[in-house]
A and B are shown apart, each in its own frame.
Chain A
Amino acid sequence: MEYIINIIFIVLLISGLLLFTKNVVQIRRNILLGKPVNRTDNQTQRWKTMFRVAMGQSKMVTRPLPGILHLFVYIGFVVINIEVIEIIIDGVCGTHRVFSVLGSLYTFLIATFEILAALVFLGCVIFFTRRNVVKIKRFLSNDLNGWPRSDANYILVAEIALMAAFLFMNAADFRLQQVHFSHYDLGLSSSAFPISSLLASLYGDASIPFLVMAERSTWWFHILGILVFMNYLPYSKHFHVILAFPNVFYSNLKVKGEFTNLAVVTNEVKAMLDPTFVPPVVEGLTRFGAKDVQDLSWKQLMDAYSCTECGRCTSACPANITGKKLSPRKIMMDTRDRLEEVGSNMTKNGGKFIDDGKSLFGDYISGEEIWACTSCNACVQECPVNIDPLSIIIDLRRFQVMEQSAAPTELNMMMTNMENNGAPWQFAQSDRLNWVNEN
Chain B
Amino acid sequence: MSNEAIHVPTMADFAARGETPEILFWVGCAGSFDDRAKKITKAIVRILSHVGIKFAVLGVEESCSGDPAKRAGNEFLFQMQAMNNITVLNNYSIKKIVTGCPHCFNTLKNEYPELGGQYEVVHHTQLVQELIDTGKLRVKGGAFLGKKITFHDPCYLGRANDEYEAPRSVIQNLDVELAEMKRSKQNGLCCGAGGAQMFKEAEKGDKEVNVERTAEALELKPDIIATGCPFCMTMMTDGVKHFNKEEKTKVIDVAELIAAAIDL
Residues of A in contact with B (beta carbons under 8 Å apart): 254-259, 261-262, 265-266, 268-270, 272-273, 288-289, 316, 318-319, 321-326, 368, 371-378, 380-381, 394, 396-402, 407-408, 410-411, 413-415, 418-419, 422-425, 427, 429-436, 438-439
Contact = CB atoms under 8 A, between A and B. Distances in A.
Contact of A324 (B66, B83, B111, B203): B203
Contacts of A289: 73, 75
Contacts of B27: 432, 435
Contact of A433 (B57, B72, B204): B57
Contacts of B87: 273
A402 B195 CA distance: 16
B74 A410 contact: no
Contact of B60 (A316, A378, A432): A432
B251 interface: no
Nearest to B159: A377
Contacts of A413: 199
Top 6 A-B residue pairs of the complex, sorted by shortest distance between their CB atoms: A257-B160, A397-B73, A323-B206, A375-B195, A422-B63, A323-B205
Nearest to B102: A257
B186 A424 contact: no
Contacts of B76: 265, 268-269, 402
Contacts of A259: 70-71, 111
Contacts of B155: 374-378
B196 A411 contact: yes
A200 to B, nearest CB: 47
A312 B121 CA distance: 33
Contacts of A434: 32
A260 to B, nearest CB: 9
A399 B215 CA distance: 36
A383 B79 CA distance: 30
A323 B72 contact: no
Given A258-B111, A410-B201, A433-B57, A318 B189 contact: yes
A255 B64 contact: no
Contacts of A419: 77, 80
B192 A318 contact: yes
Interface stretch (B2-10, B90-98, B137-145, B165-173): B2-10
A291 to B, nearest CB: 12
B203 A372 contact: yes
A368 B187 contact: no
Given A323-B205, A414-B196, A255 B79 contact: no
Contact of A424 (B192, B199, B205): B199
Interface residues of B, number: 72
Contacts of B79: 261-262, 265-266, 269
B167 to A, nearest CB: 16
A376 B190 contact: yes
A414 B68 contact: yes
Interface in B52-73: 57, 59-60, 62-64, 66, 68-73
A372 B207 CA distance: 13
A258 B110 contact: yes
Contacts of B207: 322-323
B123 to A, nearest CB: 11
Contacts of B110: 254-255, 257-258
Contacts of A377: 155, 159-160
A398 B76 CA distance: 10
A319 B190 CA distance: 9
B181 interface: no
Contacts of B198: 424
A402 B73 contact: yes
B114 interface: yes
Contacts of B60: 429-430, 432-433
B239 to A, nearest CB: 12
19 contacts: A256-B160, A265-B75, A323-B207, A324-B202, A374-B190, A374-B209, A376-B190, A378-B155, A381-B187, A410-B199, A411-B72, A411-B196, A415-B74, A418-B68, A418-B81, A423-B32, A429-B63, A431-B33, A436-B6
A413 B74 CA distance: 13
A229 B64 CA distance: 55
A378 B202 CA distance: 18
B190 A256 contact: no
B161 A255 contact: yes
B38 A368 contact: no
Nearest to B114: A261
Contacts of A273: 80, 83-84, 87
A222 B212 CA distance: 49
Among A396, A401, A411, residue most surrounded by chain B Cβ atoms (within 10 Å) = A411
B115 A322 contact: no
A410 B200 contact: yes
B151 interface: no
Among B42, B198, B199, B213, residue most surrounded by chain A Cβ atoms (within 10 Å) = B199
B115 A326 contact: no
B189 to A, nearest CB: 6
Given A324-B205, A425-B29, A394 B71 contact: yes
Nearest to B157: A257
Contacts of A255: 110, 160-162
Given A375-B194, A411-B72, 15 more contacts: A254-B110, A255-B161, A270-B83, A324-B203, A377-B155, A411-B196, A418-B64, A418-B69, A418-B81, A422-B81, A423-B32, A427-B33, A432-B32, A433-B8, A433-B10
B59 A439 contact: no
B227 interface: no
B64 A407 contact: no
A318 B212 CA distance: 9
A436 B42 CA distance: 8
A254 to B, nearest CB: 7
Contacts of B188: 378
Given A321-B212, A322-B207, A422-B81, A262 B75 contact: yes
A410 B72 CA distance: 11
Among A318, A373, A431, residue most surrounded by chain B Cβ atoms (within 10 Å) = A318
B236 interface: no
A316 B187 contact: yes
Contacts of A319: 203, 205, 209
B193 interface: yes
A258 B114 CA distance: 11
